[in-house]
Amino acid sequence: MVADIHFNHRHAIEAIRAGADAIRINPGNLGDKAKVREIVHAAKGVGIPIRVGVNSGSIPKDILEKYTRPTAQALFQSAKRSVNSIEDMGFTDIKVSLKASDVLTTIEAYRLMSDAFDYPLHIGITEAGTAFTGTIKSSVGIGALLAMGIGDTIRVSLTSRPEDEVKVGFEILKALDIREHGIDLISCPTCGRCEIDIIKLAKRAEKELSNIKEPMKVAIMGCVVNGPGEAKEADIGIAGGRGNGLLFKKGKVVRKVKEDAIIDALISEISGMIKR
Ligand code: SF4
């Protein structure tokens, strides 16, 4: 459990005493250095890390005046000051998060932080938006950082159900080959060659296979011209024909399946593969 403390240092102390595995504080919000010292002392006593969380709304006044607005430098300088202050208290079991809702600012702030310190970074785009726009912003921001080798843990923040945040997080990690989890669905964009309803099939496959946790590549392709290549490369795949699909498993054709039976055939084959 990471206790997320925004305002009151007493809550932080209580959470530490209650057995939190880590504590997240924003020194900019706690204000008084003595309060931060008390938290640091308590965390040190039980040997748990502190995540220093800085966001664009809590940049100290003098830094904000210098940079005129919450720029990447302002965020970084704010985090640097907080980290240095905690280091001066003899505490280095630190993680850092720098949150802005703007993708480019966030990327640049983390880049500055990663150049200056070796502490683990918890990355994410804060208040990213709804499931659709927030997923795009989070994927671009978190994805760009991870691709640069920056970031140790991630948080996807969406105006949506927590399960959606977790799903998006897994997809980002899967896209970058950092984690293997569940179905990796490859589906074609359709074109004039397509003779089956590939959009409907891909949507159904995504939904019906969403509870599978075993890593598996599934290809749903629209035609027999370009489809078999991808379908053969996947663990299991379909290359559509006229009202039917060729089912491939581990690079080999298994059988021809009628369009309305394609998803059931995939589910049944995948279940068999998982059991084996
Ligand atoms: S796989 Fe076939 S149907 Fe799908 S986009 Fe490529 S050529 Fe078109």
Name the residue with higher pLDDT: 1 or 239: 239
Which amino acid is it at 111? R
pLDDT score of 1: 55
* Cα 28 to Cα 9, 66, 211, 221, 246, distances in angstroms: 12, 16, 41, 52, 60
Q: Identify whether residues 170 and 202 lie together within a single domain.
A: no
Q: At what angle do helices 33-46 and 9-17 cross, to 10 degrees?
A: 10
Query: What number is the average pLDDT over the span 148-162?
Result: 95
| Number of independent structural domains in the chain | 2
From atom 2 of ligand 1, which residue's Cα is the shortest distance away?
A: 223
**CATH number (domain holding residue 224):** 3.30.413.10
Half-sphere exposure of 80 (CA within 13 A, CB side): 16
Query: What number is the average pLDDT over the span 86-111?
Result: 94
Q: Identify whether residues 187 and 241 lie together within a single domain.
A: yes
Q: Are 56 and 75 in contact (CB under 8 A)?
A: yes
- The alpha carbon of 161 and the centre of ligand 1 are apart by a number of angstroms equal to 34
Q: Of 175, 206, 234, which one is at a domain's C-terminal end? A: 175
Whether 107 has a pLDDT exceeding 80, the answer reads: yes
Longest dimension (CA), the chain: 73
Q: Identify whether residues 188 and 264 lie together within a single domain.
A: yes
Q: Identify whether residues 194 and 155 lie together within a single domain.
A: no
State whether the beta carbon of 223 lies less than 6 angstroms from ligand 1: yes
**What's the pLDDT tens digit per position in 164-213?**
999 999 999 999 999 988 999 999 999 999 989 999 999 999 999 988 99
pLDDT score of 3: 55
Q: Identify whether residues 37 and 149 lie together within a single domain.
A: yes
Q: Of 175, 198, 215, which one is at a domain's C-terminal end? A: 175
pLDDT score of 4: 55
Of all residues in the chain, the percent with pLDDT exceeding 70 is: 97
Q: Identify whether residues 145 and 171 lie together within a single domain.
A: yes
- Interatomic CA distance for residues 156 and 73, integer angstroms: 23
Q: Identify whether residues 35 and 149 lie together within a single domain.
A: yes
Average pLDDT along the chain: 92
Of all residues in the chain, the percent with pLDDT exceeding 90 is: 77
Q: Identify whether residues 170 and 195 lie together within a single domain.
A: no
* Pick from 10-19, 37-46, 153-162, 182-191: least confident: 10-19
**CATH number (domain holding residue 60):** 3.20.20.20
Domain that holds residue 195: 183-275
Q: Identify whether residues 147 and 204 lie together within a single domain.
A: no
Whether 74 has a pLDDT exceeding 90, the answer reads: yes
From atom 5 of ligand 1, which residue's Cα is the shortest distance away?
A: 190
Sign of the C-alpha dihedral, residues 189, 195, 199, 202? negative
Q: Of 124, 145, 175, which one is at a domain's C-terminal end? A: 175
State whether the beta carbon of 222 lies less than 6 angstroms from ligand 1: yes
Q: Identify whether residues 43 and 94 lie together within a single domain.
A: yes
pLDDT score of 89: 94
- Interatomic CA distance for residues 219 and 247, integer angstroms: 10
pLDDT band for 148, please (50, 70, 90 cuts): very high
**What's the pLDDT tens digit per position in 248-262?**
999 999 999 999 999
Whether 2 has a pLDDT exceeding 60, the answer reads: no
Q: Are 98 and 69 in contact (CB under 8 A)?
A: no
Q: Identify whether residues 170 and 187 lie together within a single domain.
A: no
Query: What number is the average pLDDT over the span 94-118?
Result: 95
Whether 7 has a pLDDT exceeding 70, the answer reads: no
Nearest to residue 7, comparing CAs of 39, 30, 37?
A: 30
Nearest to residue 195, comparing CAs of 238, 230, 245?
A: 245
- Interatomic CA distance for residues 215 and 236, integer angstroms: 12
pTM of the predicted structure, to 2 decimals: 0.86
Rounded (to 5) percent helix, strand, coil in the chain:
50, 20, 30
Q: Identify whether residues 47 and 92 lie together within a single domain.
A: yes
Query: What number is the average pLDDT over the span 84-93?
Result: 95
- The alpha carbon of 221 and the centre of ligand 1 are apart by a number of angstroms equal to 6
